[in-house]
Chains A and B, each alone.
Chain A
Amino acid sequence: MESTNTEAPEYFHKVVDCQWACPAHTPVPEYIRLIAQGRHADAYMVNWKSNVFPGILGRTCDRPCEPACRRGRVEDEPVAICRLKRVAADNKGDVSARMPTAPVKRIGKKIACIGAGPASMTVARDLAPLGYHVVVYDADARAGGMIRSQIPRFRLPESVIDEEMGYITALGLDMRLGERIDSLGALLKEDYDAVFVGTGAPRGRDLDVPGRQEAAANIHIGIDWLSSVSFGHIERIGRRVIVLGGGNTAMDCCRTARRLGGEDVKVVVRSGFDEMKASPWEKVDAVHEGIPILNFLVPKAFTHADGQLTGVTFEKVTPVIDDKGRRTLKPTGAPDEHIECDDVLVAIGQENAFPWIERDIGVDFDEWGMPVVNETTLQSTNEKVFFGGDAAFGPKNIIWAVAHGHDAAISIDHFCRGADVRLRPPPGVLVSSQKMGIHEWSYDNDISDDDRQIVPQLPIAEALGDVKAEVELGFDAALALAEARRCLNCDVQTVFTTPLCIECDACADICPTDCITFTVNGEEEELRPRLKAPALNLTQDLYVSGALPTGRVLVKDEDVCLHCGLCAERCPTGAWDMQKVVIEMTHAGGCSK
């Protein structure tokens, strides 16, 4: 193999699995160390720069970072990254003085953001400090979009939304709340230099089976029902409730129903339990609240009597692998099952809807009715119109919306300045040795053996009694420190300097996870299985040195390196060093302000 080029920022970035997996590339280990030091405001600002909504995401993020976490490969559970983020948000104190302010002078460019959800508000945050005049439109009376309308209050208190939307609106935005845009064509005729569409996926999918019309009064579309609850229009539901669907919206629906008088709430899903789209922890939370999840049942008909819903009939199915290796659900032939209920919540998916975008204004749509959008620049076929969040590529989650917002803001900035929209600024990279003394490092390299800490919760009776009572209480200081110490500091990189190595084997001998091998070089496929511990996780790179005096090379498998620094401590010549490599994505304006 060629010797590894660690100068390319991607190499060390990939080693920081959590940051690499985060769509917004939040420097996770950096802020976890700050939390461990009690520097919550600093930790919050590291987050805020990258992901804009630390308090919101610390409660609601889909956490792509956690399945990626290296800790999950050396023991059972990854670091509770998401809930540590919340610790920073809860304990940061007043950070308003650290926030950017609206510039005194504007640059004379005017941007419209349609929708006040996470994607639009990220665009606004990135562009307003640069001097753009940003106008935000939303049909609702307050900013937040789906964050405010669809996420139940018992998971995300309204005060957190107000605070984090407030930091952005304070940047001198022109907030046109309560103003629905009914025609993009009309808007484009106004004096906007660019338009960003962040309108989400606002339409809940309906279930068109017999009885739907007749029993309509007691059949509700999940996301619409959740927003009615959020805005206080609905306060009760029937005693027996069936929730159809297996995603996170279904989990929010069933848990909300439990709090609004639903005593007998069931979730009924077509697929098996493991294949459900809901995040594992959301399923756990629902089950914990006494909600059974029934699997492999396909709704066939709503039953009704005298115009009143009486229940749902389900066909029983089982997974079958067909000749093409695809997994399909086949009826078992068993008699249908009828489950009685008073209300049904349909949470079987969301769809995009763009009735307000004329088809003759240069914005092309594909055969599925989705806008044609460049994945990097987020620009549509009308060069002035950009998309992001669920509006761009269908339903994802908040952190993806934020990432789209950052990318779109870069594109809009380039577009307005006449630069190439495709240009992406390189990330900021800060490298610093962590060596403090012969065997002292400026990070905590003593690996904690603790299991993942469990977030304390409100007693279940109290939680079910109030739809606005936040269930999770968050880590206290002791739990937060214990959890923070579980982080392996993957951004403190093992950096090898070939000419200094005397091949004494000390690093290979001390490495607790057998990451290091001195061997004759070879092609990657041939090299991987013959390392001291076979390097079979192909998603993880091999770090290969230049040729050593004996003709061999050093090969380090990044897969399960604990970043404990013992290789560097036992190295007599300093060929190994532990260097913190903090990578920060560059946002619009060229600097990561």
Chain B
Amino acid sequence: MTYILKPQFHHPSLPTNKLGFTRRDYEGRVSTLCAGCGHDSISAAIVQACFEIDLEPHRLAKLSGIGCSSKTPDYFLSASHGFNTVHGRMPSVLTGANLANRELIYLGVSGDGDSASIGLGQFAHAMRRGVNMAYIVENNGVYGLTKGQFSATADKGSKSKKGAVNSDSGIDLVAMALQLGATFVGRSFSGDKDQLVPLIKAALTHKGAAFIDVLSPCVAFNNHKGSTKSFDWVREHNEAVNRLDVILGRAPVTAAYAPGSLVEVAQHDGSVLMLRKVARDYDATDRVKAMAYLHERQAVGEIVTGLLFVDPDSEDLHDALATVAKPLNALSDAELVPGKAALDRINAALR
């Protein structure tokens, strides 16, 4: 790990956002991960995304589980709320936090071990309930902290650094998220920030369960020949279905697009997702076709990336439960203690 603090000096032309912050103001502490770890690139992408959407740091809560990936919230957004939970239990703690204070923006950071093994059930229920969050899995297919055993997302037939062949089927969290009802599903690669940063921006502004699976090579234990999570393998097999631009606050669209190649998806907060098609006939608003397409391409060895599915009419857990509009800590005694008349009404309704 690096011993020195990252110097405070920055480029003299570093731009500021609407809040007057530079990108550097969204950074965290210096990473303790191995040099070259894909996770550090994802942290940098989160920093860039939060800077670009003019996020007020105190409005974001970052929650994580256990593992290399789950250490990373220390390395971005030092001025935000943070909760490093129990292994695999990030979705539950985040769900609780979200129910208590719906005004914060929730970012869950997890890994393939944390979400696809010990926390698989937790992951599933957060998705199916539509918890309003951005759920990022930093997926390297390997247990890096314990020196390179296969994780649950490692593809069948892929090789470990020592040459062992994985005999178990890999869990595809993207397919699961689609099947479980997530209203925003994307996949990306830590080595492609042009694709990843807009996806994170869109996920953070999406209402409902937004899931992004980010392939993130482990340079120490899973970046060799025979791995399907290495820089080289992902670059060779990466097939993006679309390119995304996130337009905040209905800013005028200045880029020119070829006719028929652009799909606009308006989100609840007023932002617009501009999807430039790369794969012909791919419709990112059709869940069933998306699932079929993914299976099809996976069978021929492609790694499909991009914004794979988005539901423009998404709802979240608060809508389903018809919860109170205010955060619980903002409720006054008048609202919490409605008085005897109200109690009598409730009791009468139960008779």
28 A/B residue pairs, CB under 8 Å, sorted by A: A74-B9, A75-B9, A447-B9, A449-B7, A449-B8, A502-B36, A502-B231, A505-B44, A505-B191, A506-B36, A506-B41, A509-B40, A509-B43, A510-B6, A512-B7, A512-B24, A514-B11, A514-B14, A536-B13, A560-B11, A562-B9, A564-B4, A566-B4, A569-B35, A570-B2, A570-B36, A572-B34, A572-B220
State the B residues within 8 Å of A (CB): 1-14, 24, 31, 34-38, 40-41, 43-44, 190-191, 193, 217, 219-220, 223, 231-232, 235
A445-B4, A509-B40, A564-B4 known; A503-B12 Cβ under 8 A: no
Q: Is there a chain B Cβ closer than 8 Å to A439's Cβ?
A: yes
Take A439-B3, A550-B235 as given contacts and tell me if A514 and B34 are in contact as well, using a CB distance cutoff of 8 Å: no
A217 at the interface (CB under 8 A from B): no
Is A573 among interface residues, defined by CB-CB distance under 8 A? yes
Contact pick for A505, options B2, B3, B41, B220, CB 8 Å: B41
Sorted nearest first, the 4 A-B pairs with minimum C-beta distance are A572-B36, A447-B7, A509-B44, A533-B11
A580 to B106 alpha-carbon distance, docked (Å): 46
Q: How far is the CA of A554 from the CA of B113 in the complex (A)?
A: 34
Interface check A571, CB cutoff 8 A:
yes
Residues A534 and B13 in contact, CB atoms below 8 Å apart: yes
Residues of B within 8 A of A533 (CB): 11, 13-14
B10 touches A513 (CB 8 A): yes
Contact of B219 with A502 in the complex, beta carbons under 8 Å: yes
Cross-chain contact B3 with A502 (CB below 8 angstroms): no
> A504-B41, A504-B219, A570-B36 given as contacts; is B191 within 8 A of A560 (CB)?
no
In the assembled complex, the CB of A2 is this many whole angstroms from the nearest CB of chain B, namely 25
A566–B1 Cα distance when bound, in Å, is: 11
Chain A residues proximal to chain B, CB less than 8 Å: 73-75, 439-440, 445-447, 449, 502-506, 509-510, 512-515, 533-534, 536, 549-550, 560, 562, 564, 566, 569-573
Instruction: Name B220's closest neighbour in chain A (CB-CB).
Output: A572
CB < 8 Å neighbour of B12 from A510, A515, A560, A571: A560
Smallest CB–CB gap between B188 and chain A, Å? 13
Known: A513-B11, A550-B235, A562-B9. A504 touches B2 (CB 8 A): no
Q: How far is the CB of A170 from chain B (nearest CB, A)?
A: 46
A515 to B, closest residue via Cβ: B11
Contacting B37 at CB < 8 Å: which of A449, A506, A569? A506
Query: Do the beta carbons of A505 and B193 come within 8 Å of each other?
Result: yes
Complex: how many Å from CA A551 to CA B16? Answer: 32
Give every chain A residue within 8 A of B220 (Cβ-Cβ): 572
Say whether A439 contacts B14, CB under 8 Å. Answer: no
| B36–A573 touching, CB < 8 Å | yes
Asked if A506 and B40 sit within 8 Å, CB to CB, the answer is yes
* Residues of the B chain whose Cβ atoms lie less than 8 Å from the Cβ of A562: 7, 9
Give Cα A504 to B14, complex, Å.
Answer: 23
Looking at the assembled complex, report how far the CB atom of B37 sits from the nearest CB atom of chain A, in whole angstroms. 7
Which A residues touch B24, using CB under 8 A? 512
The minimal Cβ–Cβ distance linking B23 to chain A, given in whole angstroms, is 9
Q: Report the separation of the CA atoms of residues A502 and B222 in the bound assembly, to the nearest whole angstrom.
A: 13
Residue of A nearest to B4 (CB): A446
Q: How far is the CA of A75 from the CA of B40 in the complex (A)?
A: 28
Contact between chains at A503 and B6 (CB < 8 Å): no
- A446 B5 Cβ-Cβ under 8 A: yes
CB < 8 Å neighbour of B190 from A505, A512, A534: A505
User: Nearest Cβ in chain B — how far from A77, in angstroms?
Assistant: 13
User: Once the chains bind, are B13 and A512 in contact (CB under 8 Å)?
Assistant: no
Give the one of A513, A549, A570 with max B CB within 10 A. Answer: A570
B-side contacts of A509, CB under 8 Å: 40-41, 43-44
Chain A: CB-nearest residue to B235? A550
Please give, as numbers and ranges, the residues of chain A lying within 8 Å of B10 by CB-CB distance. 74, 512-514
Further contacts, 10 of them, CB under 8 A, given A74-B9, A512-B24: A439-B1, A439-B2, A439-B3, A447-B7, A506-B36, A506-B40, A510-B31, A512-B8, A560-B12, A570-B36
Residues of A within 8 A of B7 (CB): 447, 449, 512-513, 562, 564
A573 to B223, CA, bound (A): 12
Q: A514: which B residues are within 8 A, CB to CB? A: 10-11, 14
> Shortest beta-carbon distance, B234 to chain A, in Å?
11
In the bound complex, CA of A75 to CA of B12 (Å): 8
Could you tell me the distance between the alpha carbons of A549 and B193 in the complex, rounded to whole angstroms?
Answer: 18
Q: How far is the CA of A515 from the CA of B9 in the complex (A)?
A: 12
CB of B231 within 8 A of CB of A504, answer yes
Chain B min CB distance to A566 (Å): 7
Contact A571 B190 (CB under 8 A): no
Closest to B223 in A: A502
Complex CA distance for A509 and B76, rounded to whole angstroms:
12
Expressed in whole angstroms, the Cα–Cα distance for A440 and B11 within the complex equals: 25
The answer on a CB contact under 8 Å between B36 and A571 is yes
Expressed in whole angstroms, the minimum distance between the Cβ of A138 and any Cβ of chain B is 48
Nearest to A574 among chain B residues (CB) is B35
A504:B6 contact, CB within 8 angstroms = no
Give complex CA distance A439, B1 in Å.
Answer: 7
Q: When the two chains form their complex, are residues B13 and A549 in contact, meaning their CB atoms are under 8 A apart?
A: no
Smallest distance from the beta carbon of B286 to chain A beta carbons, Å? 32
A408 CB to nearest chain B CB (Å): 40
A512 cross-chain contacts in B, Cβ below 8 A:
6-10, 24
Q: Contact between B219 and A572 (Cβ–Cβ < 8 Å)?
A: yes
Question: Are B232 and A549 in touch, CB under 8 angstroms?
Answer: yes
Residues of B within 8 A of A515 (CB): 11
Asked if B6 and A566 sit within 8 Å, CB to CB, the answer is: yes
Please indicate which of the listed interface residues A73, A75, A504, A533 has the most CB atoms of chain B within 10 Å of its own CB.
A504
Q: Is the pair A569, B9 in contact by a Cβ cutoff of 8 Å?
A: no
- Measured in the bound complex, the distance between the Cα atoms of B11 and A573 in whole Å is 26
Q: Which residues of chain A are within 8 angstroms of B37 by Cβ–Cβ distance?
A: 504, 506, 572
By a CB distance below 8 angstroms, the chain A residues around B231 are 502-504
A506 pairs with B35, CB closer than 8 A: yes
Chain B contacts of A560 at CB under 8 A? 9, 11-12
* Contact call B191/A503, Cβ cutoff below 8 A: yes
Tell me, in angstroms, the Cα distance from A533 to B14 when the chains sit together. Answer: 7
A533–B232 alpha-carbon span in the complex (Å): 27
